[in-house]
């Protein structure tokens, strides 16, 4: 699992997420644009917002915490049009099943985004 933290951070760097100061959109036709929100110095939200049945939907939308000093990152919250998953449902509690699932999902999604050409300032 520890390698996934670093892998995710490295992929966020490659895409250009960590350079975003407030909000950015990476457009890459024919794919759905990637939206990047900087929520704080160490929190980002990534989403793709396809139109489904005439409605703009965040699918997926994931909040990520970064640890710049350690070059690591982890997902905290995931949602799509059907489900919402929280890694830390309350203070001092971690849902390891959700955490492991979201770590693998985020790492794979970031790999897919890079392979599709979602690189900022390219």
Reduced to 3 states, what is the DSSP secondary structure of residue 10?
A: helix
Q: For the whole model, what pTM was predicted?
A: 0.92
What percentage of residues in the chain have a pLDDT greater than 90?
A: 83
Reduced to 3 states, what is the DSSP secondary structure of residue 2?
A: helix
Residues in the chain: 122
Closest CA to 28 of 20, 18, 36: 36
The model's confidence at residue 122, banded by pLDDT at 50, 70 and 90, is: low
Map out the domains of the chain as residue ranges: 2-114
pLDDT at site 2: 61
pLDDT tens digit sequence for 8-62: 999 999 999 999 999 999 999 999 999 999 999 999 999 998 777 787 777 899 9
């Amino acid at each position: 699992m520890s390698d996934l933290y670093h892998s995710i951070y490295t992929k966020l760097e490659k895409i250009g997420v960590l350079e975003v100061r407030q909000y950015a959109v990476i457009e890459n036709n024919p794919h759905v644009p990637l939206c990047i929100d900087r929520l704080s110095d160490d929190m980002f939200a990534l989403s793709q917002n396809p139109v489904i049945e005439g409605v703009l939907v965040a699918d997926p939308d994931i909040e990520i915490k970064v640890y710049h000093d350690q070059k690591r990152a982890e997902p905290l919250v995931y949602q799509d049009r059907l489900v919402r998953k929280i890694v830390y449902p309350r203070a001092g509690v971690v849902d390891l099943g959700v955490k492991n699932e979201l770590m693998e999902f985020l790492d794979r999604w970031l790999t897919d985004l890079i392979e599709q050409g979602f690189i900022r300032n390219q």
